[in-house]
Structure 1
């Protein structure tokens, strides 16, 4: 879907007119380039007021206004583009949201007609069904019955058929219709939220809670305080648009993501789920300040508050503010009531920053929070942090515990086996672990490398070499794999090829690793010369 949508939502070719001689426009472009969305919007607003028929100003004003949530400017700019016949396809989504809010069904049908001409055509039957519902038609689901629908359109139609059943008061039947759809796509949070909110509004709280399973913070909070929303086009279409915005993951489609999420928020202003989706799209489009503002609108008692807090950290990281991101993550992890996910996320950031001792302490707190439910992954992560911190004696029992909890988990077997091979400890058992990991995941280059290196350490270069060659082919930019391959080639007497592998490793290495590789390139393996 991403490939088809990319071209459809590109800037109109006719928008490439000559640069308007406007100081405000020049300032706006400079602010735009710097990611200063608010300043850019002010400039485009002024420039469009000075030259309201400028397509070039209008297209940039439209995009920046949507990023900033300046709907008034977005509508003005869109009118200019529509008058010139060069409006982007997603402009119809904004027009649809306005029409649904105003219950202007003629305008809604006109917007849907435009959507039908673009790559979002597959949601048109669903949109028409909800407009029919709002208009009070007896059989709104008849709009869903199209023989020419593709698999994606048919899936949306089935989802909306179930929601329409709930909206018309038959919650029990609607939930039964949803169950196989949610089983096939358990990650569809927007569908769950829409259905549960409709059920709660109708007084069917128990049925609503069945659609919000799991022990995560969001689901638990949602079950405790069920959102109630009036069934109708506004909430249903908002859910459709937000689901689309959440699923589109191509950076080239960020303008569309933003339009979809902004339109969803117009239709359902209380949706913190939409705020998270919109903040992510804004952050990925370098509008980090607006993204932070959006996350700041999520109330502390919202079910999505913990997720919004973690999203703040992600926005800072994306903006290159790693130190500040770590500070915020630390504040969240140390706050009263910090949950497992928040503490674990902080520990992960500490690992990325190579603060291994602190990371081990954070993982230890995560294990305490998890209690009897602590997973093998937490023990692996704490053991890995201690191992990286140089505390092998403390790390080994934790790694063994993780392996005992997950004896068939390739990641655990690989980590524990490789760590022992590197230290020349317990080689026979370590090789057994790595062979099991390789059997379980034969196409994983890191595991293939570990097993090859284990054979090398035991002097079995003939067994090691084909494995390391296969790992290097699968992961050519991995410095460790290429270095291992170089060492094995050298030991096999293939010195020219060994230096080629070491050179490949050196391209991606730094610090002490780069120095070691430079010495190998110059002198070969010291053990061969002694």
Structure 2
């Protein structure tokens, strides 16, 4: 674990400890019966609305129970209700329980009221949310209290702390810029004397571009945007580029004051925790950022995305809808809302959202790509292809990341039986991203199935396997390609490996059965075909497998007009059937 991850892990430790203490707390709640059990079930599935309701009832009966109090706080913050979470946090502090989550809520409330002295007093009294949050928020609180020099010293101290330099430097730069010292901010962004230029997120890049503009260095800001994002920009970055190109001095407004700075702390931490901690824990920080700065659209988007991950689709769509229609990130929110609709099996509504978005934001390739991907997942290939066409037509330059769009369109062409167009897209994807394993595998496997370009196909598949040796689908392609070439003994090892990697995949198990049959291992072939059936293959495939179990692979191939198996192993495998013996695997 890196030092950075170790620091971040400390943030989640208190939450884990609280969870570990749950059995003890549970013993204190036996008299709460229905409300307690319903609340535990709701919080366990991240159903914050139900959890908030049931915990409120349970707290009436046992208002000093630490587990009930903490989970009630989590539920209210999950809903974005700081005003309701704060009195519960105060109640929890009154019990003497030490809770990182309660401290987070109490601190956020202090900052929302711009009670900087109160926040500093809490820190001095030993209240802690975590080392990273404590250091950065204390620095912004000093800034809010008007002690700018002490604030800068505090930011520098965080930057010098082991495992935290990037966070400290970023916020030190924001604080300098908010105070009007653009030269000092740019020195930090650029790396200063050691020249170690800071790696920035989208928000960080916007902040630096604004700083450069304030310094009269619009051309550098334009180069920064072009080098990072290329020519195809989202509406927000495109608007910023246009202002810079017009010679306008763009104001620095990413962080306007100490309250904005504190919101940025919580958002920064939430972004760092995403993927490192549970989504329900990360959500506490993004909701805190929203509470401090309701117009922090990136925090709103992060909260909505976390809720989507937790399968709280209704709350996610409600959160996405808080992004104003005229905001440059509106299309991002609508894409998220559509995907939440799709995951909640409201596919018609999902498509309707994207189709409306294509009318209002049709100049954004991502809108058409998302629509194409969604239609492709619904197997509406004829509708998906035009969406990809529109996206590709909008690209003003070829970039490596565009390979995936050509790959996706290649799949829709292939499913529409338009192979020349499909092959052209697959080869274009490889031109943009040479050696891309998924494309190599798909194109190579397709050639094998068509019995075309077999030498090239096998080279492609081997290259894909070398790049992703633990991909069951790609290893399956290699084994299946060898089988189609009649190299049955060679195929066995690879097909067995594929079945180890994807033990419940019906296609892989079916393929392994065919390979076993081809080398004369009839009982094992029948076993694999039965396994394949148990994993619910597509109806057409299931019918074919049943036919193989009835009459054997050789008879099925003959009925299909396909070339027969060949070689000594194949002749041995089919001997009993040819001589009128028992079907495959019926050896008693």
Shorter chain as denominator, the TM-score bin is: 0.7 to 0.9
Runs of 5+ unmatched residues, structure 1? none
What is the total number of aligned residue pairs between the two structures?
Answer: 527
Q: TM-score, normalised by structure 2?
A: 0.77
Runs of 5+ unmatched residues, structure 2? 244-249, 558-573, 579-588
What's the offset of the Cα at 1:196? 5.2
Cα 1:205–1:404 change in 2 (3 A) is closer
SS in 2 for 1:377: helix
Distance in 1 (CA, whole Å) between partners of 2:75 and 2:346 is 23
Asked whether the 8 Å contact 1:198–1:231 carries over to 2, the reply is no
Cα 1:382–1:44 change in 2 (3 A) is same
1:502 is matched with 529
Asked whether the 8 Å contact 2:103–2:128 carries over to 1, the reply is no
2:233 is matched with 216
1:94 is matched with 105
Over residues 32-55 of structure 1, what are the superposed CA-to-partner deviations in whole Å (9 max), with x where a residue is unaligned? 799875576567667767976565
1:171 is matched with 182
Distance in 1 (CA, whole Å) between partners of 2:96 and 2:434 is 63
Cα 1:440–1:114 change in 2 (3 A) is farther
Distance in 2 (CA, whole Å) between partners of 1:447 and 1:243 is 38
Which of 251, 254, 267 in structure 1 is aligned with 2:279?
Answer: 254
What's the offset of the Cα at 1:247? 3.5
1:381 is matched with 408
Residue pairs, 1:82-481, within 5 angstroms: 82-86=93-97, 88-112=99-123, 117=128, 120-135=130-145, 136-143=147-154, 144-145=156-157, 149-151=161-163, 153-179=164-190, 185-186=199-200, 188-193=201-206, 212=225, 213-214=228-229, 215-217=232-234, 218-224=236-242, 228-249=253-274, 253-335=278-360, 337-370=362-395, 373=398, 375-481=402-508
Q: Tell me if 1:514 matches 2:560.
A: no
Asked whether the 8 Å contact 1:201–1:228 carries over to 2, the reply is no
Distance in 1 (CA, whole Å) between partners of 2:365 and 2:374 is 14
Cα 1:67–1:402 change in 2 (3 A) is closer
Structure with bigger gyration radius: 2
Distance in 2 (CA, whole Å) between partners of 1:128 and 1:512 is 65
Over residues 207-265 of structure 1, what are the superposed CA-to-partner deviations in whole Å (9 max), with x where a residue is unaligned? 66666541331432454576724554322222221122234345973332222112112
Residue pairs, 1:70-81, within 5 angstroms: 70-81=81-92
Q: TM-score, normalised by structure 1?
A: 0.84
Distance in 2 (CA, whole Å) between partners of 1:320 and 1:423 is 35
Question: Comparing 48-57 with 94-103, which one deviates more in the overlay?
Answer: 48-57
Over residues 406-426 of structure 1, what are the superposed CA-to-partner deviations in whole Å (9 max), with x where a residue is unaligned? 553333322222111111123
Distance in 2 (CA, whole Å) between partners of 1:147 and 1:273 is 24
Cα 1:423–1:196 change in 2 (3 A) is same
Cα 1:521–1:165 change in 2 (3 A) is farther
Distance in 2 (CA, whole Å) between partners of 1:253 and 1:501 is 38
Asked whether the 8 Å contact 2:479–2:495 carries over to 1, the reply is yes
Asked whether the 8 Å contact 1:446–1:471 carries over to 2, the reply is yes
Asked whether the 8 Å contact 1:486–1:497 carries over to 2, the reply is yes
What's the offset of the Cα at 1:166? 3.4
Cα 1:155–1:97 change in 2 (3 A) is same
Q: Tell me if 1:64 matches 2:75.
A: yes
Q: Tell me if 1:8 matches 2:24.
A: no
Cα 1:185–1:176 change in 2 (3 A) is same
Distance in 2 (CA, whole Å) between partners of 1:252 and 1:344 is 30
Asked whether the 8 Å contact 2:334–2:357 carries over to 1, the reply is yes
1:486 is matched with 513
Asked whether the 8 Å contact 2:103–2:127 carries over to 1, the reply is no
Distance in 1 (CA, whole Å) between partners of 2:54 and 2:241 is 45
SS in 2 for 1:298: coil
Cα 1:40–1:413 change in 2 (3 A) is closer
What's the offset of the Cα at 1:89? 0.9
Asked whether the 8 Å contact 2:12–2:281 carries over to 1, the reply is no
Asked whether the 8 Å contact 2:174–2:255 carries over to 1, the reply is no
Asked whether the 8 Å contact 2:363–2:394 carries over to 1, the reply is no
